[in-house]
Structure 1
C-alpha cells in the first residue's frame, strides 16, 4: 500500500516493475503477526457477521418458503454454505496475505482487467448497495416510530447516508468503546427477543401463529439469497487467519466454532419469530423484531427493540461507508481515469472525494425505491447477482492459483480438496442464477451498471493514449 501522501507512480512498465520489487521487499515488514487467541478470533467473526440483517431478512425468507420447517432448514443450509466458503477463503488469505483481499486474488488468478471490474462493482454496486440496504433497515424501523407518509423509509435512509458520510468526511468515526457498546446492545436485543418470545407470549397468540405460507408464490432460491445475505461477512472475517496464534488448525477450529455459534443464534431468533408471529405474520412484517416485541411486551418493548436495531444498523452502515471509500480511493490510485477518487485530504485525514462519490451513488440507489416502493428488497436484488458472480470467481481463483503457483507454501489448505471448493463454486453459481431468475428490476439495473464498467474498461487504453504527451 503506497504512502497516502505520496504521488502514485505512472503506469510506465519500468516504474511498475520497480514498485513491485519495492513492495516485495517491504512485505516481510508488513505481514500480520500472530496476536489473536482462539476466543478473539471467534469473537471477531461472530461480531462481523451478526448484524442488523437478522432483524429484517427473516420476513423476506418467510415470504419465500412453504412451511416453518423449510424456513428453519434454510438457515441451517446458510450456516453450512458459509462454513464451506470461509474454509476456501482461509486458504486464499493465508497463502496470499494482502490488503487488497479479493482484488488481489482475482488479479493473481485472472489479471488486472477482471480485477478492475471487481473494483468497479464494489464502487458502484456491492458496497454502495450494501450502504443503501442497511440504511433501509434503519428507515423501516424509524418509520414505525414516526412516519412522514408513503416514502418515510426512503427519506430516513437518505438522511442516514448524508449524515454518516458527512461525519466520515470530517474525520470523525466511532471509537472502539462505542463499537463494543453497540455490540452489547445488539446482543441484549437478541436476548430480549428470545425471553419475550418464549416466556411472555400469550398462549392464544402462540397457538394462533400460522406455520404455513399464505399461498403466495415461493422460491427456495430467493429465500437462500436473503439467508446468505444475513450470513454475509465471513469472507472479510477470514482475513484474521494470518494473525491467529494457534496457526493452521486453529483457524479451521475458529471458523467452524464461529459459524456454529452464528447459526445457533440465527436458529434461536428465527424460532422465536416463528413461535410468536407464525410464517404468515413474519412474511407480512416490515419490522419483524418490533412486531414481536409489540405482541409480547407491548409498545414499550417495540420502542426498545427498534432503538437496538437502529443502533446495530448504524454501526454496520458506518463501517461500510468507511471501508468502501478507501476501496474507491485505492481504485483511483491504480487507474488514472479515476484519479479524482485517489486524492487524500490531509486536513480531514480522509479520502473526501471518494466519500462524496460513494455517497452520491448510494443516494441514487436509494432513489430507486421511489420507483419500486420496496427499498430493502430492491437493494438486495441490485447487489446479489453481482456479489455472487464475483464470489464464484474467487472460488474458481482457488483452483487457478493452485495450478499456477503449486509450490507456494499454503499454511492452511481447504479440507477435502477439490470437493469443498467445488461445492462452494456450485453454490455460488446457483445463488447467482437464483438472484437473476427470481428478482426484479433491481437485478437488471445492477447487471447494467456492471456492463457499463466493461465499457469503461475497454475505453481506458484509448483515454490514456489521448492523455499521453506528444513527443
Structure 2
C-alpha cells in the first residue's frame, strides 16, 4: 500500500468516507432532543422548521467545505483550513477547543449515552442513586461511566491497529443504524400513525409557544421568536454536528480532492433527510405534549412503544447502542489526526506527531482517550457541550469566511471543487451562524461565556507552545 507525504496510507474510498460523515453525525441526539425543541417552540410547524434550518446550515457548510478540502487535502481538515485562511493562532485556538472539549466532550457524551441505554438490559447501569459506586466531592460515580470508558478504550485500541479495523466498524455500524432508523420511520408511518394525532398536532402549527408544563404555556411573540429558535437549535446542531470529521482524515482517503467533498454532501444529505422524516413520524404517532414531555426526553422510546408495544423500549435501546458505538468509532478515528497535525506544526505534544507501525497516530489516540475518559467521570460533559455550541458555530463561520479570503489571497490554488452557490449560500450560512451566536449571547448567556473562556485559555498556551518549540529546535 502506498503512503502519502505524511506517511498515512490512503485506504478509504468514497463509501467509507460517506459512512464516516453519516456515522459521526448520528449518535443519540435524534432520539432525544426533539422533546426540548418542542418545549421551546411549542408547535409542529416550528419543530420541523428548526430541523430544516439545521439541515440547511449543515448542508451549506458541508458543500462549502468541499472547496477547502479540495484545496488542502491534508490530515487535520478544519485546523488546516483555518491556518491557511487566517494564521496559526486561530488554527491553534480551534485545535485546543477541539482537544479540551469539542471532540473529547462529544466522545464522552456519546459513550455515556451507550451505557445509559444498556441500562435497559442491565439495571446496574441505570444512573440512579442506588447504583452510585462512590462520591468524590460533588461528583457521583456510576458503573455506567466505567462502561463508557471501557468502550472508549476498546475503540481507541482498535484504531491504533490501523485504519482498516476502524473502517470496518464504521461501515458496518453506520449501515446498520441507517437501515434501523429508516425502518423505524417506515414502521411508524405504517403501523402507528393516527390521522387524529397528526391533525391535532398541525392545528395552530405556526403559533409559537413556550411549553413549561402541560398547564403552563406562554406565547412567544416578537423578537423572542428568534431567541426560542436559537435555544432550540442548540440540540439539533449538536445532533447534526461532527459531519466535518471526514476532513481530518484526508491523508487516508483515496482521491481526497474529489471524495471528501462528495462524501460531505452525500453524508449530510442522507442524515438531514432521515432527521426530518423521523420528526414527521414522531408527529404522526405522538401528541405534541407527549413529545415535549416524553419520560427523560426519550421521544423515540415513546414512539417505539406506540409502534411495537412494550418491546419498543428495547428496540430503541438496541438502536441507540448501535448508533452511539458506531458514532464514537468515527469520532475517535478522526479526532486524533487533528492533534497529529498540530504536533507537526510544533504547537502540541511532540509524540502526537508520530505514526506507529500501522501508520496511525497512536499517542494522539491515547491522549484523546484519557481526556474523554476523564470527562466521562466528571459527569459534566453535557454542560460542556452546551457551552461550546456557541464556539463550534463560530469556528464554522470563520472557516466558511475563509473561502472568501482564500479566493482573494490564493487565487492560483487549484480548486477541483468549488463551493456550491458561492457567494450566496456561504454568505447565508455565515449570517445564520452569526445570528445564532448573537441570539445565544442575548437569550442563553450561560451557553456562551464558558465556552469562550475555554477557547481564550488557548492564547497563552499557544505562545508557550511556540516558545517551547523554538527552544527545542
TM-score by length of 1: 0.77
CA, structure 1 residues 111+405, in 2 after alignment: closer, same or farther (shift >3 Å)?
A: same
Instruction: Tell me whether 1:272 sits opposite 2:281 in the alignment.
Output: yes
Task: Please tell me whether the aligned partners of residues 145 and 377 of structure 2 are also in contact (alpha carbons under 8 angstroms).
Answer: no
Q: Take 2:376 and 2:23, find their aligned partners in 1: how far apart are those partners?
A: 27
The higher relative CO (CA closer than 8 Å, separation ≥ 6) is in 2
> Offset of 1:70 from its aligned partner?
0.5
The superposition leaves residues 398-447 of structure 1 with CA deviations (integer Å, 9 ceiling, x where unpaired) of: 11111111232322222443222211212222233344444465644332
Give 1:220-259 correspondences, 5 Å limit.
220-236=229-245, 259=268
Which secondary structure state, in structure 1, belongs to the residue aligned with residue 394 of structure 2? Answer: helix
Give 1:360-379 correspondences, 5 Å limit.
360-369=370-379, 376=382, 378-379=383-384
Task: Please tell me whether the aligned partners of residues 169 and 350 of structure 1 are also in contact (alpha carbons under 8 angstroms).
Answer: no
Q: Take 1:226 and 1:154, find their aligned partners in 2: how far apart are those partners?
A: 25
Q: Take 1:338 and 1:246, find their aligned partners in 2: how far apart are those partners?
A: 29
The superposition leaves residues 139-163 of structure 1 with CA deviations (integer Å, 9 ceiling, x where unpaired) of: 4423444224148896524532343
> Offset of 1:306 from its aligned partner?
0.7
Which stretch of the first structure deviates more once superposed, 160-169 or 123-132? 160-169
What does residue 300 of structure 2 align with? 289
Instruction: Tell me whether 1:215 sits opposite 2:201 in the alignment.
Output: no
The superposition leaves residues 127-185 of structure 1 with CA deviations (integer Å, 9 ceiling, x where unpaired) of: 11211221233244234442241488965245323432255247458554444432343
Instruction: Tell me whether 1:305 sits opposite 2:293 in the alignment.
Output: no
| Aligned residue among 153, 163, 170 for 2:151 | 163
Q: Take 1:61 and 1:280, find their aligned partners in 2: how far apart are those partners?
A: 12
CA, structure 1 residues 142+61, in 2 after alignment: closer, same or farther (shift >3 Å)?
A: farther
CA, structure 1 residues 133+379, in 2 after alignment: closer, same or farther (shift >3 Å)?
A: farther
Which secondary structure state, in structure 2, belongs to the residue aligned with residue 97 of structure 1? Answer: coil
Task: Please tell me whether the aligned partners of residues 197 and 283 of structure 2 are also in contact (alpha carbons under 8 angstroms).
Answer: no
Task: Please tell me whether the aligned partners of residues 16 and 171 of structure 2 are also in contact (alpha carbons under 8 angstroms).
Answer: no
Give 1:298-337 correspondences, 5 Å limit.
298-335=309-346
Task: Please tell me whether the aligned partners of residues 180 and 319 of structure 2 are also in contact (alpha carbons under 8 angstroms).
Answer: yes
Give 1:66-465 correspondences, 5 Å limit.
66-145=42-121, 146=123, 147-150=126-129, 155-169=143-157, 171=160, 174=165, 176-201=167-192, 206=197, 215-216=211-212, 219-236=228-245, 259-285=268-294, 286-335=297-346, 338-342=349-353, 351-369=361-379, 376=382, 378-439=383-444, 441=446, 443-464=448-469
Q: Which runs of 5+ in 1 are unaligned?
A: 4-22
Aligned length: 434
> Offset of 1:50 from its aligned partner?
4.2
CA, structure 1 residues 191+159, in 2 after alignment: closer, same or farther (shift >3 Å)?
A: same
Task: Please tell me whether the aligned partners of residues 71 and 257 of structure 2 are also in contact (alpha carbons under 8 angstroms).
Answer: no
Task: Please tell me whether the aligned partners of residues 154 and 366 of structure 1 are also in contact (alpha carbons under 8 angstroms).
Answer: no
Task: Please tell me whether the aligned partners of residues 65 and 261 of structure 2 are also in contact (alpha carbons under 8 angstroms).
Answer: no
Q: Take 1:120 and 1:245, find their aligned partners in 2: how far apart are those partners?
A: 25
The superposition leaves residues 291-341 of structure 1 with CA deviations (integer Å, 9 ceiling, x where unpaired) of: 222233223221122112111101111221232233223333432662254
CA, structure 1 residues 259+112, in 2 after alignment: closer, same or farther (shift >3 Å)?
A: closer
What does residue 224 of structure 2 align with? none
> Offset of 1:269 from its aligned partner?
0.9
The superposition leaves residues 253-281 of structure 1 with CA deviations (integer Å, 9 ceiling, x where unpaired) of: x8666655433322221111222233332
Q: Take 2:255 and 2:346, find their aligned partners in 1: how far apart are those partners?
A: 34
The superposition leaves residues 445-465 of structure 1 with CA deviations (integer Å, 9 ceiling, x where unpaired) of: 332221211121233355456
Q: Take 1:229 and 1:48, find their aligned partners in 2: how far apart are those partners?
A: 11
Task: Please tell me whether the aligned partners of residues 381 and 435 of structure 1 are also in contact (alpha carbons under 8 angstroms).
Answer: no
CA, structure 1 residues 356+257, in 2 after alignment: closer, same or farther (shift >3 Å)?
A: closer
Q: Which runs of 5+ in 2 are unaligned?
A: 133-140, 213-217, 219-226
Which secondary structure state, in structure 1, belongs to the residue aligned with residue 107 of structure 2? Answer: helix
